[in-house]
Amino acid sequence: MAETRLVLMRHGQSLGNEANQFTGWNDLDLSPDGHEEARRAGRLMRAHGFRFDAAHCSMLRRTIHTLHHCLDELDQTWLPEYRSWRLNERHYGALQGLNRDDTIARYGREQVQQWRRGFDITPPEVELDSPHYPGNDSRYATIPRADLPRAESLATTMQRVLPYWKETLLPSPQRGQSLLVITHGTVMRALIGHLNDLNPEEARTLEIPTGTPLVYEVDAGGMVERAGYL
């Protein structure tokens, strides 16, 4: 059995999940249930004796707060933390903040399902003067505007995420270091699709539970030896 672990986890239930919204890069917090999901995940990992060398999350508070709950329960709050926009949720463009049922009523179920789960289908782009455009958010001020999305498909989200995997995450298990990565549903689909060598259809149809650690045991070459949810 490999001793190096990569744990991927979707944040706990957010207020956007609770309200059935297209949340995307909207910076909503966890719901009360989401806070408890995160604490429970931390307790579960501690009960299984998990020790990490570093932790990564997105730049959105629902992953940051999930991470902090987990580290509190693990008694590992001293771990180095790294945050990246590349781990942010898929940007839903002009759909961000809209209720999904209302959007279905306006555009039809088939169109909305294509926007949500079509592998290379992008929702309508957000306008440059919109508060939903990341270029108008100071936390992304150091990122070239050409790199900031106005809307993303699963395919373009994968293109954004995979450089972070290859350049930042993968070198750690190759050095024998275990990582905790708290991110979002679409980013999980991108990473799982890559790690499990899934085709686009398999990746896009993955259902990712909130607040549930997915454990990969990896060898020194970064190859997966075993994987499964706790």
| Residue ranges of the chain whose pLDDT lies below 70 | 1-2
Percent of the chain with pLDDT over 90: 84
Q: What are the DSSP E strand ranges found in 70-223?
A: 81-83, 179-183, 214-218
User: What is the model's pLDDT at position 91?
Assistant: 97
Report whether 160 belongs to an annotated binding site: no
Q: Which of 174, 209, 170 is nearest to 191 (CA)?
A: 170
Q: Per the structure, how many domains does the chain have?
A: 1
CATH number at residue 188: 3.40.50.1240
Considering the entire predicted model, what is its pTM? 0.94
Q: What is the pLDDT of residue 201?
A: 86
Q: Are residues 34 and 212 in contact, defined by beta-carbon separation less than 8 angstroms?
A: no
Does 17 belong to an annotated binding site?
A: yes
Asked if 204 and 117 touch (Cβ cutoff 8 Å), the reply is: yes
Q: Residue 189 is which amino acid?
A: R
What was the pLDDT predicted at 225? 79
pLDDT recorded at residue 1? 41
Among 179, 169, 187, 184, which residue's Cα sits nearest to residue 10? 184
Quick: pLDDT tens for 200-213. 889 888 999 999 99
Q: Are the beta carbons of 132 and 25 closer than 8 angstroms? A: yes
Residue 15 among known ligand-binding residues? yes
Which amino acids are annotated catalytic? Answer: 11, 89
Can you tell me whether residue 201 is helix, strand or coil?
helix
What range defines the domain where residue 207 resides?
Answer: 4-229
Residue pLDDT, tens place only, 67-119: 999 999 999 999 999 999 999 999 999 999 999 999 999 999 999 988 888 88
